[in-house]
């Protein structure tokens, strides 16, 4: 399949003004009748209506009331062209589709007997012929007809205008969306569903009806999603003055879904994983994720729906901005400074674990890509998480108020339109009178910039110089990079660990944190009145998505860990120290004759944080969590998964031995009694307590087994239960098998919990390919359900690196087999799994050779989706 280029954008030949659709719902033959009014776009030279369509049976086309014959149009490669020059046109198209055969979960499909749609990015073309591109925005009216018993609930976007009986056992519902929208925001849902609902008063005094729809039996799991929606609505009113523009807002949960959720106008469709929660089935992390995803999809109503993307190259315009908004929302819901820092740490962890590797691998692409083969492959951590960092940098450079002014101007200029990333940047510039021309490079250049810092102190002159030098490694198609505009927030600590007031030319107010703006390849910042040699705190709160190099001594890092007023950098200092140790241990593990040795200093620093009751439990948990194996891997010239695993386990075990008393004390001191609540304080305590449990479990002795078993038996919530089960599953505890079996039988009826059961085993230390294959034969396993496939296959390939990278290549052979099997069912899910070998060139030659062979095996498969082909093709290139 050919690549599509951003530079080739041309406007559509016709605009669509109105769309009326009629659906006769039938799993094996749904009839879709569409009537649209079109108007010629004078900006286009094309003398034809151009419509997209895939996997459709075309029944008939009528143009201005006249049936078209085959010779009146051309239908090639998913494009329907109807030659015409007319100014105004009415086009009627009838298609037949087969939702029950649709395993791609794009377009209209069936899940557990109910109908659902997913249209972003290019799924609407699997429903009818249409200019399926986001710059074509139209007003939709939708008539749904179906069997009353099988499909008692009929939902679509906007407002319910009319419903009634058709007399023949069927009924209908007529929906009208008052807002223009691109086709990717279309949605319908039909089936046997029930809802929790309430009305909510909006800022203007208007009332809106809120509904959360689920399958029968799940109404005891909707309250948290509803609360999250209400909080999202009011947060957007408060923070950005943005009000819900509809009288009705619906969330629907579906068990078969390709990703997290979808922001269809007024009818958000969600993976059950991001809706259903109660203490019995959901962990603290699930509760937090539900809040974040409900917020994310709700915030899209303005950033994505009211103002949308001109073309899919601009995807980060809505996604980066909306992730930033959901991150800020979650942080505000916690409310405390420490809670905000923990949230920031979590977000930066995702960036480092997933986005930095992407930026360094064969699929690296700019936040605004220049080309793609399949757009579904570009819903990436770069578009989402790096995109959010780019948006965050505006706020860091302009301040919160400046950022809000920029947002106001953005909506004032572009409401109801489909625009580009550059339009967002222009709004930020113009609203603040700032030149952000160079900032554009964050959108156009891929790769993670490195900032090298050197400092020098002059005791006589009492001056301190900070020199920042930036570079960015080459990425596919971009050998040389131009300097970025990088905000580097810094502070200086005196010998007592206090922030020093900063005197820098141009800043009169002597703040304790300053944002240095690095725009050249190298710049020196000259501080005066520096009364003693400081320890610099660099890139506070992670002010830019870069790798920062500075030659800190171990003593400096321990000092920052203990004193930095910037909580993020306190954590960061600990991570730097631990990374150093882990890299040294990894090197030792590679040499047969070099024994692994413990590090007293690191253990002392970690002990101090662990026991510092002035710090929030949630924060202490982040400090005591060692960098992930995949993060260590990225720091190595040649990745050695076994050595990394050995090193990390060794360090965890030695910390467990060293801090045994401390962990036991912390475990006892952080019990949460009373009924379960997922609030930040309680979940922070549980996180710290369960971290202590996981360290103690490293000892794998009778005490640890008893502790884990007791916690398992007495748990009144899923967080504690899962933590205990994980401890048992990774141990030699005699009760290991019994606990896994009991967990299964207790939760057999809860698919989301069974996903956890598969996932936990997929990532367990003893689980090799053979064990995964045995689990795949379990009656509860199904490769067709994306959540289930992710819980077992993805968890193993991405979450169990030492087993996946087994020296015999068994992991890679398994991977190839699963990618090929999944590709025939669901290309999007397959292409996601195909990304697991992205970094193959970073491994030792023996592993590399086996990975290349597995990639080649997939590439050589005759019938492969363009999704998967693009990913393996780019990997092998
Ligand atoms: N916008 C959707 C993502 C759709 C992905 C299609 N492959 C979810 C979100 O980002 O909110
Ligand atoms: Zn989104």
If one residue of 267, 274, 379 were mutated to test the ligand 1 pocket, choosing by the most ligand atoms within 8 A of its CB, it would be 379
Instruction: Identify which of 123, 115, 119, 77 has the alpha carbon closest to the alpha carbon of residue 99.
Output: 115
Q: Which residues pair with 214 in a beta bridge?
A: 194
If one residue of 107, 264, 270, 319 were mutated to test the ligand 1 pocket, choosing by the most ligand atoms within 8 A of its CB, it would be 319
Active-site pick, 120, 215, 263, 297: 297
CA-828 nearest atom, ligand 1: 7
User: How large is the ipTM?
Assistant: 0.99
Q: How far apart are the C-alpha atoms of 825 and 833, rounded to whole Å?
A: 13
Match 């078969």 to its residue by tokens: 256
- Can you say whether residue 335 is alpha, beta or left, with left for phi > 0 and alpha for psi between -120 and 50 degrees? left
Q: Which residues line ligand 1 (CB under 6 A)?
A: 120-121, 259, 261-263, 296-297, 300, 319, 376, 379
Q: Residue 109 has what pLDDT?
A: 99
Nearest ligand by distance to the CA of 184: 1
What six digits make up the tokens of 263?
Answer: 């922001």
CA-293 nearest atom, ligand 1: 11
Q: Residue 786 has what pLDDT?
A: 98
Nearest ligand by distance to the CA of 320: 2
Q: Which residues pair with 110 in a beta bridge?
A: 115
Nearest ligand by distance to the CA of 324: 2
Q: How far apart are the C-alpha atoms of 260 and 262, rounded to whole Å?
A: 7
Max Cα-Cα span within the chain: 95
d(CA 695, ligand 1 centre) in Å: 37
CA angle 581, 584, 589 (to 5 degrees): 120
Q: How far apart are the C-alpha atoms of 549 and 488, rounded to whole Å?
A: 13
What six digits make up the tokens of 219?
Answer: 């109404």
If one residue of 105, 126, 251, 261 were mutated to test the ligand 1 pocket, choosing by the most ligand atoms within 8 A of its CB, it would be 261
User: Is 750 in the active site?
Assistant: no
CA-258 nearest atom, ligand 1: 7
Instruction: Identify which of 445, 507, 450 has the alpha carbon closest to the alpha carbon of residue 478.
Output: 445
CB distance 744 to 754 below 8 Å? yes
CB distance 154 to 163 below 8 Å? yes
Give the pLDDT means over successive 10-residue stretches in the chain (877 positions).
97 98 98 98 97 98 98 97 98 98 98 99 98 98 98 98 98 98 99 98 98 98 99 98 98 98 99 99 98 99 98 99 99 97 98 98 98 98 99 98 98 98 99 98 99 98 98 98 99 98 90 97 98 98 98 98 98 98 96 86 97 98 97 97 97 97 98 95 98 98 98 98 98 98 98 99 98 98 98 98 98 98 98 98 97 98 98 98
Instruction: Identify which of 9, 12, 19, 5 has the alpha carbon closest to the alpha carbon of residue 52.
Output: 12
């Amino acid at each position: 399949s050919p690549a599509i280029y951003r530079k080739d954008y041309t406007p559509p030949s016709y605009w669509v003004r109105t769309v009326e659709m009629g659906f006769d719902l039938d799993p094996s033959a749904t009839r879709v009748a569409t009537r649209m009014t079109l108007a010629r776009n004078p900006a286009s030279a094309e003398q034809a209506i151009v419509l997209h369509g895939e996997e459709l049976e075309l029944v008939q086309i009528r143009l201005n009331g006249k049936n078209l014959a085959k010779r009146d149009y051309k239908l090639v490669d998913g494009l329907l062209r109807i030659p015409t020059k007319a100014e105004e046109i009415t086009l009627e198209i009838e298609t037949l589709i087969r939702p029950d055969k649709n395993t791609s979960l794009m377009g209209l499909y069936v899940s557990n007997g109910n109908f659902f749609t997913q249209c972003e990015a290019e799924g609407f073309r699997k429903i009818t012929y249409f200019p399926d591109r986001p710059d074509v925005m139209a007003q939709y009216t939708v008539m749904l007809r179906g069997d009353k018993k099988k499909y008692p609930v009929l939902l679509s976007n906007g407002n319910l205008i009319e419903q009634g009986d058709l007399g023949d056992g069927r009924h209908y519902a007529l929906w009208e969306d008052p807002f223009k929208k691109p086709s990717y925001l279309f949605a319908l849902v039909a089936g046997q569903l029930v809802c929790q609902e309430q009305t909510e008063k909006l800022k203007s005094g208007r009332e809106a009806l809120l509904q959360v729809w689920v399958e029968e039996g799940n109404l005891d799991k909707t309250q948290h999603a509803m609360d999250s929606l209400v909080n999202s609505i009011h947060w957007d009113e408060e923070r950005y003055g943005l009000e819900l523009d509809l009288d009705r807002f619906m969330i629907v949960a579906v068990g078969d879904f390709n990703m997290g959720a979808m922001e269809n106008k007024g009818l958000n469709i969600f993976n059950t994983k991001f809706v259903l929660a109660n203490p019995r089935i959901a962990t603290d992390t699930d509760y937090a994720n539900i809040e974040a995803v409900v917020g994310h999809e709700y915030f899209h109503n303005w950033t994505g729906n009211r103002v949308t993307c001109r073309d899919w190259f601009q995807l980060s315009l809505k996604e980066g901005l909306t992730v930033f908004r959901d991150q800020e929302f979650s942080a505000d819901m916690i409310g405390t400074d420490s809670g905000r820092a923990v949230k920031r740490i979590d977000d930066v962890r995702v960036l480092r674990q997933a986005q930095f590797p992407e930026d360094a691998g064969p699929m690296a692409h700019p936040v605004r890509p220049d080309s793609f083969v399949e757009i579904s492959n570009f819903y990436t951590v770069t578009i989402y998480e790096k995109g959010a960092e780019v948006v965050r940098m505006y706020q860091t450079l302009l301040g919160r108020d400046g950022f809000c002014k920029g947002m106001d101007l953005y909506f004032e200029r572009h409401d109801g339109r489909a625009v580009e990333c550059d339009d967002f940047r222009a709004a930020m510039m113009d609203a603040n009178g700032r030149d952000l021309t160079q900032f554009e490079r964050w959108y156009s250049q891929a790769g993670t910039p490195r900032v090298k810092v050197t400092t020098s102190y002059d005791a006589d002159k009492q001056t301190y110089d900070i020199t920042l030098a930036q570079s960015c490694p080459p990425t596919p198609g971009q050998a040389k990079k131009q300097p970025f505009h990088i905000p580097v927030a810094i502070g200086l600590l005196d010998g007592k660990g206090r922030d020093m007031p900063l005197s820098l030319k141009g800043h009169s107010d002597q703040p304790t944190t300053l944002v240095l703006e690095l725009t050249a390849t190298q710049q020196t910042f000259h501080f005066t009145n520096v009364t003693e040699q400081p320890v610099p705190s660099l890139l506070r709160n992670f002010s830019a998505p870069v790798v920062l190099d500075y030659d800190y001594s171990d003593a400096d890092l321990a000092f920052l860990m203990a004193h930095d007023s910037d909580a993020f950098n306190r954590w960061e200092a600990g991570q730097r120290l631990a990374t150093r140790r882990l890299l040294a241990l990894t090197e030792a593990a590679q040499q047969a004759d070099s024994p692994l040795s413990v590090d007293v200093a690191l253990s002392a620093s970690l002990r101090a944080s662990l026991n510092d009751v002035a710090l929030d439990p949630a924060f202490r948990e982040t400090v005591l969590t060692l960098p992930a194996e995949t993060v260590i891997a990225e720091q190595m010239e040649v990745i050695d998964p076994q050595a990394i695993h050995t090193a990390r386990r060794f360090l965890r075990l030695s910390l467990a031995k060293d801090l045994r008393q401390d962990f036991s004390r912390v475990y006892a001191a952080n019990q949460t009694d009373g009924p379960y609540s997922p609030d930040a304080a309680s979940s922070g305590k549980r996180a710290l307590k369960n971290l202590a449990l996981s360290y103690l479990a490293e000892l794998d002795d009778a005490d640890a087994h008893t502790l884990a078993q007791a916690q398992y038996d007495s748990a009144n919530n899923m967080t504690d239960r899962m933590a205990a089960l994980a401890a048992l599953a990774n141990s030699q505890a005699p009760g290991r098998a019994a606990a896994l079996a009991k967990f299964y039988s207790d939760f057999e009826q809860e698919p989301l919990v069974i996903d956890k059961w598969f996932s936990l085993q997929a990532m367990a230390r003893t689980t090799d390919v053979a064990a995964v294959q045995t689990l795949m034969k379990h009656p509860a396993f199904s490769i067709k359900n994306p959540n289930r496939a992710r819980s077992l296959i993805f968890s193993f390939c991405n979450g169990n690196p030492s087993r996946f990278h087994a020296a015999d290549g068994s992991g890679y052979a398994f991977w190839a087999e699963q990618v090929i099997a999944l590709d025939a069912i669901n290309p999007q899910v397959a292409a996601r799994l195909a990304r697991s070998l992205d970094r193959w060139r970073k491994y030792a030659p023996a592993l590399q050779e086996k990975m290349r062979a597995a990639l080649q095996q997939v590439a050589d498969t005759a019938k492969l989706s363009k999704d998967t082909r693009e990913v393996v093709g780019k990997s092998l290139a």
